[in-house]
Structure 1
Amino acid sequence: MNDFTLTILMILAAYTAGSISSAILVCKIRRLPDPRTQGSGNPGATNVLRIGGVSSAALVLFFDMLKGALPSYIGYKMGLDAASLGFIAVSACLGHIFPMFFGFKGGKGVATAFGAMAPIGDDLSVTLMISWVILVIVTRYSSVAAMATAVLAPVYTWYFDERFVLPVAMLSTLILIRHKDNIERLRVGEESKVSRKKKPPLTNE
């Protein structure tokens, strides 16, 4: 099997994996409200934090990152070039953004994108995580932290392993495009800040 065929197969597999919405499934399992109808309406870890608390959000974050990391890592182990890895990683994010299993209405793909960058190395992963946490603490806006970290990601990658600047830049561009509505809300002062609510008690209703 040649590299082109492998890349196409991995793109399809990545999109399929990305289409599995961790936020919706975790909320269903934990009997929480559908994240598409509560809070920001975004099925992602930040919104699950608002409606379900830290443990639920942590599960969503882990699985959203995993579905980006696995296809990228497998593609890397197969020896595919940087451009192919970029398309595979973007496909996982597009699956998250437009999930075929959930009416093609998904999240912003930030955790999946950062997960796809993780196999590049622990040093990059830790740097991205620290940057995001610091920016959230300073700004209290998850969207600002995500966009700023996305802008920094290609710079970090160039420093740690310049071979992967192209795929990381592709992912960063996708993140910025997906946050155009957040940019407008920030402009008019309507963007929601990060907050956490306690998980509502379970009922038999």
Structure 2
Amino acid sequence: MNSTALPLPAWIAIGAVLAYLIGSLSFAVIVSRVFGLNDPRTYGSGNPGATNVLRSGNKAAAVLTLVFDALKGYVPVALAVASGWPAAVVAAIGLGAFIGHLWPVFFKFEGGKGVATAAGVLLGFDPALGGLVLLVWIGMAAVFRYSSLAALTASLAAPALQVWLNGPSLMTVAVAVMSALLIWRHAPNIRKLIAGQESKIGQTA
């Protein structure tokens, strides 16, 4: 990046906006349309994400949703890191992609909870960080079969793992913000978990 062409705040804003637009591609809805499935916002949890798409009974659609939702977080961040952009720009790009998934401009701001996209962003920030957080998610999901509980546990672990691996930094702030938003978006799931009414992974709508 030619830092003399534009000031750092301008690069941060440009990176965040472009990443937000990429994050606004709601692949749960897009993939469901391609497969001729119902809009995932109309059944199950109403969440346009891979777990809810899986409730349609179409595993291929759910896998594609998961992959593309993760890639839209990973690719912009990984490209920024590979280009040697400043940490502030990389952090803004990661947050932009994540926020785009939560509030997508192309889909009436009706987005998902951001688990797969956050995983992609974390892998882009640091593959070791993303891998460890993913292991936390997989472990909790395998044992308890609740996607929401796995996501909540991984969200709590992510900032601590970031500090442990890399020390406090701008990335730590970005990871903490994503974790806080993930937990907030899972508030209905938290209530269902407490009431024993949460759906398990693979349960059809």
TM-score (norm 1): 0.88
Query: For residues 77 and 6 of structure 1, do their structure 2 counterparts lie closer, same or farther at Cα, with a shift above 3 Å needed?
Result: farther
Secondary structure at the counterpart of residue 31 of structure 1: coil
For residue 84 of structure 1, report the CA deviation from its aligned partner: 4.1
| Gap runs ≥5 in structure 2 | 1-5
Alignment check: 8 A CA contact 2:15 2:89 kept: no
1:55-204 matched pairs, under 5 angstroms: 55-162=60-167, 163=169, 164-196=171-203
Query: For residues 79 and 4 of structure 1, do their structure 2 counterparts lie closer, same or farther at Cα, with a shift above 3 Å needed?
Result: farther
Q: For residue 201 of structure 1, what is the aligned residue in structure 2?
A: none
The one-character-per-residue Cα deviations of 1:164-198 (angstroms, maximum 9, x if unpaired) are: 3222112111111111111122222222111255x
Alignment check: 8 A CA contact 1:69 1:115 kept: yes
The one-character-per-residue Cα deviations of 1:42-85 (angstroms, maximum 9, x if unpaired) are: 11010111114332211111111111112222333454444443
Equivalent residue letter for 2:182: I
Q: For residue 53 of structure 2, what is the aligned residue in structure 1?
A: 48
For residue 157 of structure 1, report the CA deviation from its aligned partner: 1.7
Equivalent residue letter for 2:201: V
Q: How far apart, CA to CA, are the structure 2 residues paired with 1:85 and 1:147?
A: 24
Residue identity (%): 40
Secondary structure at the counterpart of residue 141 of structure 2: helix
| Gap runs ≥5 in structure 1 | 198-205
Q: How far apart, CA to CA, are the structure 1 residues paired with 2:104 and 2:184?
A: 17
Secondary structure at the counterpart of residue 101 of structure 1: helix
With 83-92 and 101-110 compared, the bigger mean Cα shift is at: 83-92
Alignment check: 8 A CA contact 1:98 1:106 kept: yes
Q: How far apart, CA to CA, are the structure 2 residues paired with 1:149 and 1:131?
A: 6
For residue 126 of structure 1, report the CA deviation from its aligned partner: 2.2
Alignment check: 8 A CA contact 2:15 2:92 kept: no
Q: For residue 8 of structure 2, what is the aligned residue in structure 1?
A: 3
With 38-47 and 85-94 compared, the bigger mean Cα shift is at: 85-94
Secondary structure at the counterpart of residue 51 of structure 1: coil
Q: For residue 202 of structure 1, what is the aligned residue in structure 2?
A: none
